[in-house]
Structure 1
Amino acid sequence: MSVVADPSAARHAREPGTPPRSVIVLASVALTVATGAALWLLPSETDDWMRPAQARAQTSASLPATRAASSGLAAAPSAPVRATGAPSGFVTFVDAVHDPRASLPRAAQQSGVRWFTLGHLTAGQGGCTPKWGGRQALGDNPVANHLGRLRTAGGDAGLSFGGSAGRELASACLVPGLLTAAYRQAVGAFDAAHVDFEIRDPADLDAVRRRATALATIQREKAGTGRPLAVSFTLPLTGRGLSPQDQVMLRTTRETGVRITAVNLLVPLRAAQTARGRLRPVASAVRTAQPQIARALGEPSAWERIALTPVLAGPTDLSSADARKLAGFASRHDLAWLSTRGATPVPEVVRLLAGPAR
Structure 2
Amino acid sequence: MPNTRRRKREPGTPPRSMVVIAALALAGGTVVAVWFLPARATPEAPVKVASPTLSPMAQPPAQEPLLPADGPSAFLAFVDTARNPGFDLPDHSRRTGVRWYALGHVVAGQEQDACTPKWSGRLDPGANPVANRIGRLRADGADAGLSFGGPAGRELAGACADQAALTAAYRRMIAAFGARFADFEIRDDADAAAGSRRAAALRTLQRERPLHVAFTFPLGQKGLSAGDAALLKQTHDAGARVSVVNLLAALEPRAAPEGRLRRVAAAVRAAHAQIAHAHGLTDAGQTWRRMALTTVLISPDDLGEIDARKLTTFATRYELAWLSLRGAAPRAEVSRILWRTRP
Q: Please state which band the TM-score falls in when normalised by the shorter chain.
A: 0.7 to 0.9
What fraction of aligned residue pairs are identical, expressed as a percent?
A: 52
**Aligned pairs, number:** 281
Question: What amino acid sits opposite 2:34 in the alignment?
Answer: M
Question: Structure 1, residues 190-210: CA drift from partner, whole Å, max 9, x if none?
Answer: 000100011111110000000
Q: Which structure 2 residues correspond to residues 214-233 of structure 1 after superposition, within 5 A?
A: 214-222=201-209, 228-233=210-215
What code does the residue aligned with 2:272 have?
Q
Map 1:332-347 onto structure 2 (within 5 A).
Answer: 332-347=317-332
Which of 30, 46, 49 matches 2:33? 49
Shift of 1:156: 0.5
Higher helix share: 1
Q: Which residue identity does 1:156 align to in structure 2?
A: D
* Among 180, 189, 205, the residue aligned to 1:193: 180
Structure 2 equivalent of residue 170 of structure 1:
157
Q: How does 1:292-303 map to 2 (within 5 A)?
A: 292-300=274-282, 301=284, 302-303=287-288
Cα distance in 1, alignment partners of residues 35 and 330 from structure 2:
26
Moved over 6 A (4+): 45-48
Q: Return the alpha-carbon distance in structure 2 between the equivalents of residues 161 and 315 of structure 1.
A: 26
Does the alignment pair 1:284 with 2:262?
A: no
The aligned residue for residue 322 of structure 1 is 307
> 1:147, 1:157 within 8 Å by CA — same for their partners in 2?
yes
C-alpha separation in 1, matches of 2:116 and 2:340: 38
For the 8 Å contact 1:111–1:347, the answer to whether it is kept is no
The alpha-carbon distance between structure 1 residues 268 and 307, as it changes in their structure 2 partners (threshold 3 A), is: same
Whether 1:146 aligns to 2:109 is: no
In structure 2, relative to structure 1, the CA distance for the partners of 1:221 and 1:318 (3 Å cut) is same
Deviation at 1:344, TM superposition (A): 1.7
Q: TM-score under structure 2 normalisation?
A: 0.78
1:297 positional shift: 1.4
Match of 1:6 in 2: none
Work out which of the residue numbers 115, 127, 141 in structure 1 matches 2:114: 127
Q: CA deviation at 1:340?
A: 0.4
Q: Which ranges in structure 2 are unaligned for 5 or more consecutive residues?
A: 1-28, 39-62
Gaps of 5+ in 1: 1-44, 55-80, 223-227
What is the TM-score with the length of structure 1 in the denominator?
0.74
> For 1:202, which of 183, 189, 208 is the aligned residue?
189
Root-mean-square deviation (Å): 2.2
Cα deviation for residue 94 of structure 1 reads: 0.4
In 1, the alpha carbon distance for the partners of 2:77 and 2:226 equals 28
What is the letter of the counterpart of residue 91 of structure 1?
A: L
> 1:329, 1:85 → 2: CA distance?
18
Aligned to 1:313: 298
Counterpart CA distance in 2 for 1:112 and 1:288 is 32
Distance in 2, matches of 1:176 and 1:100, equals 32
Aligned letter for 2:215?
F
Q: 2:87 aligns with which of 98, 102, 126?
A: 102
User: Which letter does structure 2 place at the counterpart of 1:50?
Assistant: V
Query: Residues of 1 paired with 2:225 and 2:234: CA distance?
Result: 14
- Tell me, in whole angstroms, the C-alpha distance in 1 between the residues paired with 2:248 and 2:33: 18
The structural deviation recorded for 1:119 is 0.5
Tell me: CA distance 1:82–1:349, structure 2 relative to 1, closer, same or farther (3 Å): farther
